[in-house]
Copies of this chain bind each other. A is one copy, B any other.
């Protein structure tokens, strides 16, 4: 057998132990957005450092003002490319907790329609995915004593909270981390049988606005009719973000947005995508965004404005006849093409400030911003990786785009001069960021095998 065949065999034989290692990582409650989980984030980073050192990497935890980075290096044969693998060990919050069927931090295997899957926060986004790569490296080492090419690894612990420490960290480690190509595992398959490489990703601008009116909460009987109600002002501001056709109304919002080329649209049309199934799986029947755009365009190639959270006044059980002193919303904008996140965030603040009546003020908290990214369709590594995936899955890899934001890809291009290959094994029903997040055992197993093959293909 070839080295690759031996390695794939090793992945198969080693699956149960590999799952045990993943489950140990999944049990660590590494929620990066909530300061209460700071120690858990560090613990997850340390777990990965230990795992990488165990299989022959030189790995260490690197402190940042936020959660630490994991950096690891492993040599490879002379003349082979040097790849940098990226994943993130932090996870989203678990609320609303009462909608989970099992403990969000206890991996629970279930069999559904003959396929095994495991439920846990982070099972799909992104601990399950990043471990496919770690375990592929482990299999190469166990089977052959070496890796097929030079491999460095960067695991981040702040991806879900906008990567506040990333820019500075990469700036301080430019030399150490600049490689020939980045590999990122934080995306989805096209469907349960079809692997995919994601070549475009939306960027994001995000902001939090609080509208302030009276100096304290008011009794709506004494003051109602005369006093400003900040929830009313906020509602108006948010309602005005879109016009009747679903177009975002911010000034110059569409600057830098280009129409998708016809041949790309045609390729997407050939994917057999069903808007009915896509929306039906989440209880919807109609696309609700910009009129006269397909769902793939709406989610892959068009920018959005979304309110991700809103709160104000009394929100507990029962009723409280109060006029709140303030009301807040978290708002994010998905960006495409050359939209400038900073300009979009500024346009949002202008939109808010233009709608403030007398006696109302607005304060803002900036969250993460990142531009959109687009890979060159003619990159040779793209073809090599696509070939390796097709071998593993017995089906041509789909060349697609993604609606989510993976800011790291922009950072790698801008700060380290590297392109990124985005290969992941998540499925659209994995419920990432939602209650009952899960990952298919098949994704984990064949994902590990896929990385084993991709490393071999890139080494040639």
Q: Give the interface of A toward B (CB within 8 A).
A: 32-35, 92-93, 95-96, 99, 160-162, 188, 202, 204, 206, 208, 213-229, 231-232, 234-236, 238-242, 275, 278-279, 282-290, 295, 298-299, 302-304, 306-324, 327-330, 332, 334, 357-359, 367-368, 402-405, 428, 431-436
Chain B residues positioned under 8 Å from A311 (CB to CB):
310-312, 315
A284 close to B431 (CB less than 8 A): no
A332 close to B214 (CB less than 8 A): no
B334 close to A435 (CB less than 8 A): no
- Shortest A275–chain B CB gap in Å is 8
- List 7 A-B pairs, minimum CB-CB distance, nearest first: A221-B404, A215-B283, A33-B318, A309-B313, A225-B298, A235-B238, A239-B239
Chain B residues positioned under 8 Å from A403 (CB to CB):
221-225
Give the number of copies in the complex.
Answer: 2
A206 close to B368 (CB less than 8 A): no
Q: Which of A223, A239, A241, A435 has the most CB of B within 10 A?
A: A223
Chain B residues positioned under 8 Å from A405 (CB to CB):
221, 321
Which residue from chain B places its CB closest to the CB of A218 in the assembled complex?
B282
15 contacts between A and B (CB under 8 A): A162-B319, A202-B221, A215-B283, A218-B434, A219-B404, A220-B306, A222-B403, A223-B299, A226-B275, A226-B279, A226-B288, A235-B235, A283-B359, A308-B324, A309-B312
Q: Please judge, given known A-B contacts A214-B284, A282-B227, whether A428 and B315 are in contact too, CB under 8 Å.
A: no
Q: Please judge, given known A-B contacts A310-B310, A405-B221, whether A215 and B321 are in contact too, CB under 8 Å.
A: no
Chain B residues positioned under 8 Å from A290 (CB to CB):
225
B34 close to A316 (CB less than 8 A): yes
- Shortest A232–chain B CB gap in Å is 6
Q: Which of A188, A234, A307, A405 has the most CB of B within 10 A?
A: A307
Q: Please judge, given known A-B contacts A283-B215, A315-B310, whether A320 and B225 are in contact too, CB under 8 Å.
A: no
Chain B residues positioned under 8 Å from A99 (CB to CB):
216
A93 close to B320 (CB less than 8 A): yes
Once bound together, how far apart are the Cα atoms of A227 and B298, in whole Å?
Answer: 10
Once bound together, how far apart are the Cα atoms of A285 and B226, in whole Å?
Answer: 10
A228 close to B92 (CB less than 8 A): no
Chain B residues positioned under 8 Å from A322 (CB to CB):
308-309, 433-434
B35 close to A225 (CB less than 8 A): no
Once bound together, how far apart are the Cα atoms of A433 and B216, in whole Å?
Answer: 10
Once bound together, how far apart are the Cα atoms of A216 and B257, in whole Å?
Answer: 30
Once bound together, how far apart are the Cα atoms of A311 and B324, in whole Å?
Answer: 13
Chain B residues positioned under 8 Å from A219 (CB to CB):
404, 432-434
Instruction: Pick the residue among B162, B188, B216 that contacts A431 (CB under 8 A).
Output: B216
Once bound together, how far apart are the Cα atoms of A315 and B218, in whole Å?
Answer: 22
Q: Which of A225, A307, A332 has the most CB of B within 10 A?
A: A225
A332 close to B318 (CB less than 8 A): no
Chain B residues positioned under 8 Å from A306 (CB to CB):
220, 224, 229, 232, 321, 323
Once bound together, how far apart are the Cα atoms of A96 and B202, in whole Å?
Answer: 38
A299 close to B225 (CB less than 8 A): yes
- Shortest A239–chain B CB gap in Å is 4
- Shortest A128–chain B CB gap in Å is 16
A359 close to B232 (CB less than 8 A): no
A310 close to B289 (CB less than 8 A): no
Which residue from chain B places its CB closest to the CB of A330 in the assembled complex?
B319
A285 close to B358 (CB less than 8 A): yes
A304 close to B239 (CB less than 8 A): no
- Shortest A314–chain B CB gap in Å is 4
Once bound together, how far apart are the Cα atoms of A289 and B357, in whole Å?
Answer: 12
Chain B residues positioned under 8 Å from A278 (CB to CB):
226
Instruction: Pick the residue among B34, B227, B319, B334 that contacts A225 (CB under 8 A).
Output: B334
Which residue from chain B places its CB closest to the CB of A221 in the assembled complex?
B404
A330 close to B314 (CB less than 8 A): yes
Q: Please judge, given known A-B contacts A222-B299, A239-B236, whether A216 and B321 are in contact too, CB under 8 Å.
A: no
Other A-B contacts than A226-B275, A308-B319, 20 sampled, CB-CB below 8 A, are A34-B316, A188-B222, A214-B283, A216-B434, A219-B404, A219-B434, A220-B306, A221-B404, A226-B289, A229-B307, A232-B238, A232-B306, A232-B307, A234-B235, A235-B238, A307-B313, A309-B312, A311-B315, A319-B330, A320-B330
